[in-house]
Structure 1
Amino acid sequence: MRMRRPGLLRLGASRVAYETRVYFRSPDSVFFTFLFPFIMLGIFTAAFGARGNIGTAPDGTGGISVGAYYLPGMLAAGMLLSGVQNLAVDIAGEKGDGTLKRLGGTPLSPLSYFIGKIGMVLVTGTIQAALLMLVARFVLGIDLPTDPDTWLTFAWVSLFGVITCAFLGIALSALPRSGKSATAVVIPIVLILQFISGVYLQFYLLPEWMQNLASLFPLKWMAQGMRAVFLPESFSSLEQSGSFDLPLVALNLGIWLLVGLVLSRVTFRWIRKDA
């Protein structure tokens, strides 16, 4: 067993590099998962920026720009798109075209395969978040946090979120009946979650039942964690519990990470059982 473990890690590391190259060579993946948050942030800023700041005082002072308010949601959406949407569609496609069946006949283990997929999401998600913040700062003029503790919060929310979404993406790939139907199955799920979780709509304006529904899924907690990083403390009163409540964010993301880990391992097969 001790002799096999380094082999698993080496194969996994090589898969990370391979998966990352394939990702950036796919126009669909780059546009709909990597660049999509950039496009949406630009659209929201251009469409609603003229209305003035969000969260202004009664005398019209204070508040933050529309772009600054939507930045946390777009960062959370980027994790969801890179992990859940990209992996669910990609792996379902690999099942449909026989790629997984061929990989099942090689020394590659499911663990090494998982390492490759999750590592790719970590790499692409980190690059995406860094570029999104650079665009926000230097193109849209959005001020970024300067407190080191705030960036530490950003780091653990991002890590939790990316790994959780990667496992859930692997698990969700078992749902489509074929590679051709994967997009039709996965994208509506991802889109609905974004609308009810405070990505495209201001979360505090949603009806309570919708906020409660969103709380059952990880994107709401990822977005809340990102709001704790990028929004002023005064905006915490707009959250459902009246605070950013980072311990509860960590608890829910931890639960979903474990759920995703179990589901991805239980549901994953090199080929479908009914194939």
Structure 2
Amino acid sequence: MTAYVFPGQGAQFSGMGKELYETNEKAKALFDKANEILGFDITKIMFEGSDDELKQTNVTQPAVFLHSVILATTIEDFKPDMVAGHSLGEFSALVAAGALSFEDGLRLVAKRADAMQKACELNPSTMAAVLNLSDEKVEEVCAAVHAETKEVVVAANYNCPGQLVISGSIEGTNIACEKMKEAGAKRALVLQVGGAFHSPLMEPAREELAEAIKNTEFKTPICPIYQNVSAKPFTEVEDIKMNLIHQLTAPVRWTQSVQNMVADGATKFVECGPGKVLQGLVKKISPEVETAGV
């Protein structure tokens, strides 16, 4: 069985999608439509922009989404047995699997980026990568820091065994990083991100996005989608919408999603989008499976 997986923020690079635009008529039409929907020339930034321009949340999220989704539309006989996306990638997965239209997916992603940006400005916050500690130890340290200081700090991205990202207030994250090192982490490094994604500090963004999701038409996907919030497969529209709403304040359970997909029969994972980050994570989670890009 083949699983298609879709990357999140951080996979962007200058020149992404340019070859698709120049060689595929269907892709070109979708890129042009995206410029209309967004009200600015995102393709120009994707094809020619600097790393700094591409790093802006209102550009990054739609850019990665567009590259991933448009790439999926160029695959002949696209028949995934299951799909999943890492954080933002969950929206790409839903469009590729037919649960959301291209237009609605793009509008929701733009709304999500805008809402997250506002939440970051409201509560200055950050994230940090923790290497070589067990999931349980990371959770334990975060809970201890919160109990001691009342600062928000939580496990946010379960990327693969021994690679977790924590998220929270600047103070809480800094304290947690020191404690992680004391607990034996190889590294605990604050990341250059706009804010504490996938933590309770994203609550204002969750509320704003919830309204938009509730007012958007979803359809039954062509295959199960393994959603970040619980790492379990879903096909029911109401479940999918609910999980998508909670995604912003809940952790990304990527390790568990891949483990569940393998347990349910996935033998090949195809990454659809910029970069190869997910192929690397899948290999670390389940070395026996085959991985490929589009």
Common fold: TM-score over 0.5: no
Q: TM-score, normalised by structure 1?
A: 0.25
The structure richer in strand per residue is 2
Return the index of the structure with the highest Cα Rg.
1
Q: TM-score, normalised by structure 2?
A: 0.24
